[in-house]
Structure 1
Amino acid sequence: MTTNTPAIPAPASPHSPPPPRRRAPLTLVGAAVDQRITELQRGYLADRSGAVATLARLRRGAGKPANTTPDLWGLGADEAIHQAHADGALSTEQAERAEEAAHIALTLWALHQQSHHTQRMHLRYGPELGAAVRRLMPGTEVDDPIRKRFVRAATATTPTMLAQRLRDIVTLLRREAIALDYGLLADQLHQWQRPGGAEQVRRSWGRSFHAHRNPKDVPDPAGAPEGANATHDPTTNQKDDTQ
């Protein structure tokens, strides 16, 4: 008599990267941005003239406040936000924050996607900003000039300042063809504008920066020095003891 014994999975190698984590569902803002970018990205990669022209116009808005770019009206992801405002689901203040977040995310993606005709720079469930920045550093050592740019972005005090500093980072990511999850970024930009939201977003970016390792760079825990797994937040240059 034979029995079907469940197979025992082989233990994961200490050098294997951690399995991908699915992020929480997007809010209205992130979902609207994800949908609009997915549509435009598909057209751009197919070399459709309308999508190519739209991206060129959107790029001109990168780093600028939404209320100073009327030329972009109707090109972004504002329809769902305006409808939610009209239905009373969003107050005027909430709608303005949502519009700004969607504008920043969409125009940064347009800059990011420029000249990439075969690769998607927006990936649904793709890397968070901190992890993407860490991918710019292929070795185990932290590249200080890049880290400082990341810190400058994380410590911005206004949405316009944040957009301008993220523009610098996106330019680096474009050069190395490192994608982002722009739906997630849009939600974080929206959260960043709320009371206490900037601190929460900074913490999330710092943790994703620390957690990401390229497979070849993951050290063997058996040979790691004591304290090597302490969480470090690169946006503050301080150890984060809250787990």
Structure 2
Amino acid sequence: MTTVTAPVTPRDRVARLAAGHIAALQRGYLDDQSHAVASLARLRRGAGREAGQLPDLWALIDTGPLHETPDGARPLSERELVRAEDALHVALTLYALHQQSRRSGMYQADRPDRWRGLGAAVRRMMKPGEIDEPVHKRLVRAGTAPDLPVLAQRLRDIVVLLRREDIQLDHALLAGQLYTWQWPSGADTVRREWGRSFHAWHDKPKDGAAASAASAGSDTTRTDTDKDAS
């Protein structure tokens, strides 16, 4: 039987590239490697700002792989490249802001048994069984952003809250969504994904294991560090 492999979409490529960059930065940061700490400090300055405003960041976000053509893919057009680069910029700078002064990794991959999409992350800020309207409104405002620069600003506000509550996020998934957002009807697609993620989060663990693990982790997690003073 012949196996048919699904084509690699531009969104897939953006998400995978973001995952590689963020995972490497996170490992370095948590290991207190000076280059990673410095890179995140520089990237944080770009959170909520357009990619072209800070040339200093260009060398930190390697978009070279987007110009390559992997098996099962096609070369990206100029328009696709620009939108992919913008999506990567927003996602990586938001990650850098999210990780600041956190001693556990704020980037965690989303999966069915561990929802880490934006909607689920926002839902986790709320008390079990309740909808916090001010918090929910921030997600709604992000969903109604008219363009990527405004969306980046609104996501920045959400990420600040997630960092305060020590809630993780799949920033690579977000990068792919930010790429999709920029295309006609793309915002509708992303809003549906955020809504699905929001409602898929279950705030009551099936047993006490998850709660115990979270409690144990909080005892060893340091939330302030001098290395993020910049």
Partner of 2:47: 62
State the alpha-carbon separation in 1 of the partners of residues 63 and 117 from structure 2: 23
**Counterpart residue identity of residue 109, structure 2:** R
Which of 77, 87, 104 matches 1:101?
Answer: 87
Aligned length: 192
> Does residue 212 of the first structure (1) align with residue 201 of the second (2)?
yes
* Structure-to-structure mapping, 1:3-82, within 5 angstroms: 27-82=12-67
> Does residue 190 of the first structure (1) align with residue 179 of the second (2)?
yes
* Conservation of the 8 A alpha-carbon contact between 2:128 and 2:204: no
Q: Deviations over 1:212-239 (max 9, x none)?
A: 121169xxxxxxxxxxxxxxxxxxxxxx
How big is the shift at 1:141? 1.3
> Does residue 199 of the first structure (1) align with residue 188 of the second (2)?
yes
Which of 80, 84, 101 matches 1:115?
Answer: 101
Which of 151, 163, 168 matches 1:179?
Answer: 168
Which of 110, 135, 153 matches 2:124?
Answer: 135
Identity of aligned residues (%): 53
What SS is found at the alignment partner of 1:72? helix
**Counterpart residue identity of residue 109, structure 1:** Y
State the alpha-carbon separation in 2 of the partners of residues 162 and 214 from structure 1: 27
How big is the shift at 1:88? 6.7
Which of 136, 147, 161 matches 1:158?
Answer: 147
TM-score by length of 1: 0.75
State the alpha-carbon separation in 2 of the partners of residues 44 and 212 from structure 1: 28
| Shift in alpha-carbon separation, 1:155–1:77, aligned structure 2, 3 A | farther
Unaligned ranges ≥5, structure 1 = 1-23, 218-243
What SS is found at the alignment partner of 1:27? helix
Larger Rg computed on CA atoms: 1
State the alpha-carbon separation in 2 of the partners of residues 138 and 213 from structure 1: 11
**Counterpart residue identity of residue 108, structure 2:** L
How big is the shift at 1:38? 0.5
* Conservation of the 8 A alpha-carbon contact between 1:33 and 1:77: no
**Counterpart residue identity of residue 113, structure 1:** Q
State the alpha-carbon separation in 2 of the partners of residues 81 and 216 from structure 1: 40
Runs of 4+ in structure 1 over 3 Å off = none
The structure in which a higher percent of residues are helix is: 2
Unaligned ranges ≥5, structure 2 = 1-7, 207-230
CA RMSD of aligned residues (A): 2.1
State the alpha-carbon separation in 2 of the partners of residues 122 and 216 from structure 1: 21
**Counterpart residue identity of residue 213, structure 1:** H
How big is the shift at 1:78? 1.4
Partner of 2:222: none
TM-score by length of 2: 0.79
